[in-house]
Amino acid sequence: MSSTYLRDADNGYSSGRVYMRDQNPAFDQPEALITELEHGHETLLFASGMGAATAVFQGLRPGDHVLAPKVMYWSLRNWLMGFATSWGLDVELIDMTDPSAVQAAIRTGSTKLVWIETPANPLWTITDIAATAEIAHTAGALLAVDSTAATPVLTQPLDLGADLVMHSATKYLNGHSDLTAGSVTTRADNEHWQRVRAVRAQGGGTLGSMESWLLLRGMRTLYLRVRAASASAQRVAEHFHGHELIAEVLYPGLPSSAGHEAAKRQMSGGFGGMLSLRVAGGEQAAIAVAANTKLWKRATSLGGVESLIEHRASIEGVGSPVPPDLLRLSVGIENVDDLIADLEQALRA
């Protein structure tokens, strides 16, 4: 840990490092590991997922047209509509589950970026990465994927044609709910990537050394954790599908879900640890279920070893596409029978 690095007697910097903000050697191993897992060219770590995502948009120029999904991580949607538009980006929110809607909205030459999230928070809808990449590239746009919920364990967006893949490393990559971090990985070096680099170096939203090391340590168990969470989420989804007290289970691993076929094409080894339940009794019943769980903890966030349950609409507020009866579940690595039994007793209570 050092904020500064020795300069040579001849006034040079043969170590390649001048100052910690952008040249912290603690970034090297976690960045190299994420690059390898994503089959990319290079990765940049940020102080949070939001820091990583907003850097991708700040790498664009005022006037550029951007397509983003209606169903996406709510805080990024709020930033896009509340900040990026007033900064001069022309942001259009569309239905990303339908490639023909992307085709209809894209403007050849002026659309510079298509941003997708799959599976998408918190309805877990699926966007076809390969089909969307083709549409974006034909129009001259980059495709960026928020792959936080899929993780590199289940999906490699760059192999499917995406140009950039972003993670809230706060979630599965770290896996222990004890830091915030974000990453962006690029398939190639280009002018936009150099601007994203400059946003980090000059904007200064960089990760600390301790967090970089904790992230690396968390990633040592990434595969075990994600596989366990995915297998348990599948079990929970199947158990509550058709349940008398549940109106709908939202999970791409269910054959009846709208995104199942696309998910099967681009995910392997499972459909992730995130699902949502719509409680048949409505909003108050949903809030009561969350109040009555014992093993599931009432908290926001996702991707940790502990299972979390959240009434989502009351977090996202007005303008959110989330139904009021929806509970978002982040499945951890506890015994799955205990997780199901706890939800059962909370539903019956």
The site for ligand PLP (CB under 6 A) is made up of 48-50, 53, 73, 76, 117, 121, 146, 148-149, 168, 170-171, 180, 182, 302
> β-pairing, 246-250 with 182-186?
unpaired
CA dist 258 and 250 (Å) reads 9
* Rounded least distance, CB 52 to ligand PLP, Å: 8
* Cis status of the peptide bond prior to 321, with omega within 30 of 0: no
- Residue 266 burial (CB < 10 Å; 0-12/13-18/19+)? buried
* Rounded least distance, CB 76 to ligand PLP, Å: 6
Q: Which of 171/278 has CB closer to ligand PLP?
A: 171
- Residue 220 burial (CB < 10 Å; 0-12/13-18/19+)? exposed
* Rounded least distance, CB 53 to ligand PLP, Å: 6
Rounded to 5 degrees, what are φ and ψ at 302? -165, 170
Tokens of 344: 């059962």
- Residue 256 burial (CB < 10 Å; 0-12/13-18/19+)? exposed
Residue closest to 123 by CA, chosen among 264, 300, 280, 248: 248
User: Nearest to ligand PLP by Cβ — which residue?
Assistant: 49
Asked if 146 is an active-site residue, the reply is yes
Q: Which of 302/346 has CB closer to ligand PLP?
A: 302
Q: Which of 183/293 has CB closer to ligand PLP?
A: 183
* Rounded least distance, CB 284 to ligand PLP, Å: 26
Which strands sit side by side in the sheet containing 182-186, from one edge to the other?
42-46, 182-186, 164-168, 142-146, 111-117, 65-69, 90-94
Q: Which of 27/73 has CB closer to ligand PLP?
A: 73
Asked if 171 is an active-site residue, the reply is yes
DSSP reduced 3-state for 256? coil
Residue with tokens 């509340």: 82
DSSP reduced 3-state for 153? helix
311 with 344: CB under 8 angstroms? no
Which strands sit side by side in the sheet containing 326-330, from one edge to the other?
246-250, 274-279, 326-330, 308-311, 297-298
277 with 123: CB under 8 angstroms? no
Residue length of the chain: 349
User: Residues 64, 73, 200, 312: which is the catalytic one?
Assistant: 73
* Rounded least distance, CB 276 to ligand PLP, Å: 13
* Rounded least distance, CB 272 to ligand PLP, Å: 11
Q: Which of 54/346 has CB closer to ligand PLP?
A: 54
User: Residues 17, 21, 70, 107: which is the catalytic one?
Assistant: 21
User: Residues 77, 112, 171, 312: which is the catalytic one?
Assistant: 171
* Rounded least distance, CB 39 to ligand PLP, Å: 20
User: Residues 64, 77, 112, 146: which is the catalytic one?
Assistant: 146
Residue closest to 109 by CA, chosen among 140, 64, 84, 134: 140
Q: Which of 157/182 has CB closer to ligand PLP?
A: 182
What amino acid positions are annotated as catalytic residues? 21, 73, 146, 171
